[in-house]
Amino acid sequence: MPAITRSMKLGCKSGLLLPSTRVKPGTRNVSFERYQSDSDKGRPRGNGYFRKALLTILVPYTGYALYIITKARDEIKEREQQLKDCEDDRTFESTLLKYSPLEILGRFANPFKEYRVLTLFEFSLNRILELFERNRGGIPTDTRSLGLLMPVHKPSWASAESLSSSNEKLNVRILDVNEDLGPANIEPTHKPVYSTWLGQSCNMVIYDNFRILTDPLFTDHLIHETLGPKRITPMPAKIEDVPTPDVILVSHNHPDHLDFKSLEFWGSQSKTRPLWIVPKGMGEFLKNHAVENIIELSWWETAQIAKGNSTYNISCTPAMHWSGRSLVDTNRSLWCSFLFSHNTQPIMFHAGDTGYVWDLFKRISNRYGSGVKLALLPCGQYCPSWHQKPRHISPEEVLKIRDDLKAQNVLGVHWGTFVLSGEYFREPKEKLEMLAEWHGIKSSCYCPELGKTITIN
C-alpha cells in the first residue's frame, strides 16, 4: 500500500381476443369480442405497457438530456466570455478556466462545444439500424483466415533487466493542479519504452523498470457470456502470465476498458496489489469489487510516484467521452486520459476513449511538454460518424492529435477486439497506416499486432 499525502484544495392482464365461432341456435354469436374482468376495468388496454415505458423512461430521460444540454451550453459560453479577459489564451490558467471538470445535477458533463449528448432516441435508432447490417464488421468465419488477418504473438514484454522482480514500495503524493511538477532534467533520458498491445485499449507499458497496465481487459465477453459482445480475436496472454504492474490506469468504467476479472485478480485479496489510478468518482465502484489500493484524480491533477531512486508523474488529463455501465450510474464518475512523465519529460500518453477537440491536446502538450515518446491513441469505433464522432476519433483525427502533441511515436489501438461499430474490423489499421504512409511517417505511426512487444528507443 503506497504512502499517500495530498496537497489539493479543490474544491395486467389485458383482455382476451377470441376468434369467431359457431354456436347452438338461441345462443349469442361471439365474434372477436374483448372480454375484460371487473378487476381489469380501468387498466390501460393494448399498448398500456408501451405508454408506461414511454412515460417512466423516455420522457424523463429526454427532459433530463435537454436540461444537461442547455446548462452545459450556458456554462461553455460563460467560460468563453471569461477567456476574453485573459491576456494570453494559451496559458495554463486559461486552460483550467476552459477545460476544468463540469458537474450538473451531481453528474459530470463535457465542457466541450464539440460534444453532443447521447439521447435515448439516438441510441435506439443506431441499435435498430444495426439489425439490418449483414456480417457486421466483416469478420471471417474461417479461423485460419482470421489468424492471417490478425496474427497473435506471445509477448516478450521487455528486456530481461526490466522484467527483473521488483517489489519496491511506491510512495505517492497528489499534486494540486497548479503545483510544480518537479525539476526538469536538462539532459533528456534515452531509456527505451516497451509496449505490448493485448487488445482494445489494454497495453502493458514498461519504462525504466516501471510497469504500467492501461484499461485492463482479460475476458472473452464484455457484459455476459450469453448477452455481451464476444472477443473476435484470441487473447495474447492469460492474466496470470502478465507481469505484475506497478500501476493500473483506468480511463473510464465502460466494460471494454475494465473487466471484473482484472478487479478480482489484482484486488485487495490478491497476492500482488498494484496501485489503481482512476478518474474522480470511480473509486466507489472499485471498492464495491474489493479493490482498496486506489487513487482518484480529477483533470489536471498529478500522482507523483517515487520508486527506488526514481520519481515519475502520472497526470490525469481531459477527454471528450462519458462514463457508466448502466443508466443508473451514467456520468457519476469522470473520464480521462493520462500522461506519464519522468523528470518532467513526457514518456507515454494513454488517450483511453475520446472525441477530437481542436485545442485540447495542444493545451495538454503546453502543460506537460511536447514530444511525448509514445502516444497510445484509439483509432477504431468511428462508424457511423454521425453517431460516434462526439465520443471517438477516426484515423484522420489520430494524425491531428499526433501533430497537436508532437508525438514521436503513435500506436493505434481500440480496434480488432470486439465488433462495436459499423466499420470493417481491419479498416482502422489499414486507413491509419495508409494515411501515415502518405504523410511519410509510416515507421512511427501504425497499429501494433496483438501480443507483439514493440521497443521504442
Looking at per-residue confidence, does 57 or 287 come out higher?
287
Domain stops at, among 95, 130, 165: 130
Examine residue 11 and state whether it is found in any structural domain, yes or no: no
Examine residue 27 and state whether it is found in any structural domain, yes or no: no
- Say how far apart CA 263 and CA 85 lie, in whole Å: 46
Residue pair 15/35 in contact by the 8 Å Cβ criterion:
yes
pLDDT tens string 307-337: 988 999 999 999 999 999 987 899 999 999 9
pLDDT tens string 265-286: 999 888 889 999 999 999 999 9
pLDDT tens string 140-174: 988 899 999 999 999 999 987 777 766 788 999 99
Considering the domain architecture, whether residues 181 and 123 belong to the same structural domain is answered as no
Contacts of 429 (CB under 8 A, 6+ apart): 379, 412, 415, 416, 446, 447
Considering the domain architecture, whether residues 158 and 112 belong to the same structural domain is answered as no
Domain stops at, among 69, 103, 130: 130
215: nearest Cα among 166, 250, 259: 250
Q: In this model, does residue 426 exceed pLDDT 50?
A: yes
Q: What is residue 44's predicted lDDT score, i.e. its pLDDT?
A: 47
Examine residue 431 and state whether it is found in any structural domain, yes or no: yes
Examine residue 386 and state whether it is found in any structural domain, yes or no: yes
Q: In this model, does residue 40 exceed pLDDT 60?
A: no
Considering the domain architecture, whether residues 438 and 329 belong to the same structural domain is answered as yes
Considering the domain architecture, whether residues 284 and 394 belong to the same structural domain is answered as yes
Examine residue 24 and state whether it is found in any structural domain, yes or no: no
Examine residue 70 and state whether it is found in any structural domain, yes or no: yes
Q: What is residue 9's predicted lDDT score, i.e. its pLDDT?
A: 41
Number of domains in the chain: 2
Record the pTM: 0.86
Question: Which regions of 176-252 does DSSP assign to beta strands (E)?
Answer: 193-197, 203-207, 210-214, 247-249
- Say how far apart CA 161 and CA 165 lie, in whole Å: 9
Examine residue 311 and state whether it is found in any structural domain, yes or no: yes
Considering the domain architecture, whether residues 125 and 160 belong to the same structural domain is answered as no
Place of cell 473476435: 232
- List phi, psi (to 5°) of 61: -65, -40
321: nearest Cα among 51, 115, 76, 150: 115
Q: In this model, does residue 87 exceed pLDDT 90?
A: no
Considering the domain architecture, whether residues 390 and 309 belong to the same structural domain is answered as yes
Considering the domain architecture, whether residues 126 and 170 belong to the same structural domain is answered as no
Residue pair 323/253 in contact by the 8 Å Cβ criterion:
yes
Considering the domain architecture, whether residues 295 and 432 belong to the same structural domain is answered as yes
Q: What is the DSSP letter of 38?
A: G
Considering the domain architecture, whether residues 194 and 326 belong to the same structural domain is answered as yes
Query: What confidence tier does 253 reach under pLDDT thresholds 50, 70, 90?
Result: very high
Q: In this model, does residue 418 exceed pLDDT 80?
A: yes
Which amino acid, 176? D
Considering the domain architecture, whether residues 123 and 251 belong to the same structural domain is answered as no
Q: What is residue 188's predicted lDDT score, i.e. its pLDDT?
A: 67
Residue pair 277/249 in contact by the 8 Å Cβ criterion:
yes
Domain stops at, among 130, 161, 190: 130
Examine residue 66 and state whether it is found in any structural domain, yes or no: yes
Q: Which of 44-58, 92-106, 332-346, 368-382 has the lowest mean pLDDT?
A: 44-58
Percent of the residues in the chain that have a pLDDT greater than 70, as a whole number? 85
Looking at per-residue confidence, does 343 or 164 come out higher?
343
Considering the domain architecture, whether residues 94 and 230 belong to the same structural domain is answered as no
Q: For residue 227, give the CATH number of its domain.
A: 3.60.15.10
Distances (CA, A) of 137 to 122, 227, 353, 415: 21, 18, 20, 11
Full residue range of the structural domain in which residue 54 is found:
48-130
Q: What is residue 161's predicted lDDT score, i.e. its pLDDT?
A: 78
Query: What confidence tier does 89 reach under pLDDT thresholds 50, 70, 90?
Result: confident
pLDDT tens string 97-133: 999 999 999 999 999 999 998 877 777 777 777 777 7
- Say how far apart CA 296 and CA 90 lie, in whole Å: 27
- What's the rounded mean pLDDT across residues 206-211? 94
Beta carbons within 10 angstroms of residue 350's beta carbon: 26
Residue pair 350/85 in contact by the 8 Å Cβ criterion:
no
Region of 225 on the Ramachandran plot (φ > 0 left; ψ -120 to 50 alpha; else beta): alpha
Q: What is the DSSP letter of 27?
A: S
- Say how far apart CA 338 and CA 334 lie, in whole Å: 13
Considering the domain architecture, whether residues 221 and 296 belong to the same structural domain is answered as yes
| Set of cell numbers at residue 310 | 526514481
Which of helix, strand or coil describes residue 96? helix
